[in-house]
């Protein structure tokens, strides 16, 4: 409870969430207009509405890294460890608090894009099917939450915001897409495995199902958290 209260009291939490929400709406509006003009290969209203997540996810990644590194600015981490000397419990409590914030935030951000797209496109696009909408929303919310937790775990190890951002943004926006187009093993990597959670690829027989992708991304997240916890427990501060 203390970690959740601390997270919610940080101005950067709300600034980052608000900025991500606004940027996602702007991107969703742009993609929706492109869809109306036939400039995209996507015709499903649901897929168009979620297309902006591929870019606006950067905002939530930044949130995870900033909150993980915030206590190292000014040495607040020493106060935290004095109050909670059991580092294993402390780091898991901090990541749990981040998860509690991320799940509704991920849903609101992703749903806002779909809602705006539905308003902009109207009857010009394929109607949203409830049977597709619910799995997609659950999948994208889980994907965003797990991905941000990976970034937070990396930030815990590095203790620095800029290197953490460089690794996460560099991989998800540069290295990941390049590897995805060139290597068969890319489907086992966290970005590719996570994408199928909300953009199923039934035409690709080699692609994972959404459940398989979720299990694999969950395994990557668990591994990152365990490594971060081990490093966190062993070092001096």
- What pLDDT score was predicted for residue 128? 78
Is the pLDDT at 30 greater than 60, yes or no? yes
CA torsion through residues 17, 19, 21, 24, sign = negative
pLDDT in tens, 148-204: 999 999 999 998 899 999 999 999 999 999 998 888 888 999 999 999 998 877 667
Cα 15 to the center of its chain, rounded Å: 17
Torsion of CA 195, 200, 206, 211, to 10 degrees: 80
pLDDT of residue 43: 67
Residue 67 in this model has a pLDDT that exceeds 80:
yes
Cα(5)–Cα(27) distance, rounded to whole angstroms? 31
Question: Do 70 and 12 touch, CB atoms closer than 8 A?
Answer: yes
Residue 96 has pLDDT above 80, yes or no: yes
Residue pair 157/228 in contact (Cβ under 8 Å)? The answer is: yes
15: part of which helix (H) or strand (E)?
helix 11-36
The DSSP code sequence of 185-225 is GGGGSHHHHHHTTTS--TT-TTSPPHHHHHHHHHHHHHHHH
**pLDDT tens, residue by residue, 103-131:** 999 999 999 999 999 898 877 666 777 78
pLDDT beyond 60 at 237: no
pLDDT at 1 exceeding the cut of 70: no
């Amino acid at each position: 409870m203390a970690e959740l209260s601390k997270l919610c009291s940080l101005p950067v939490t709300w600034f980052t969430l608000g900025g991500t929400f606004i940027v996602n709406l702007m991107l969703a509006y742009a993609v929706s207009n492109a869809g109306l003009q036939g400039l995209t290969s996507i015709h499903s209203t649901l897929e168009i509405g979620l297309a902006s997540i591929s870019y606006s996810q950067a905002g939530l990644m930044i949130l995870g890294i900033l909150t993980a590194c915030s206590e190292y600015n000014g040495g607040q981490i020493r106060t935290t460890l004095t109050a909670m000397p059991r580092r294993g419990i402390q780091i898991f409590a901090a990541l749990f608090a981040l998860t509690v914030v991320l799940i509704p935030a991920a849903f609101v951000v992703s749903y806002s894009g779909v809602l705006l797209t539905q308003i902009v496109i109207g009857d010009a696009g394929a109607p949203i099917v409830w049977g597709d909408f619910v799995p997609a929303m659950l999948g994208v919310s889980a994907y965003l939450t797990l991905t941000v937790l990976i970034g937070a775990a990396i930030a815990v190890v590095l203790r620095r915001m800029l290197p953490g951002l460089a690794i996460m943004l560099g991989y998800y926006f540069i290295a990941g897409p390049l590897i995805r187009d060139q290597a068969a093993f890319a489907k086992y990597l966290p970005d590719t495995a996570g994408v199928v959670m909300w953009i199923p690829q039934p035409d690709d027989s080699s692609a994972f199902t959404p459940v398989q992708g979720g299990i694999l991304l969950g395994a990557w997240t668990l591994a990152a958290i365990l490594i971060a916890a081990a490093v966190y427990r062993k070092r001096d501060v």
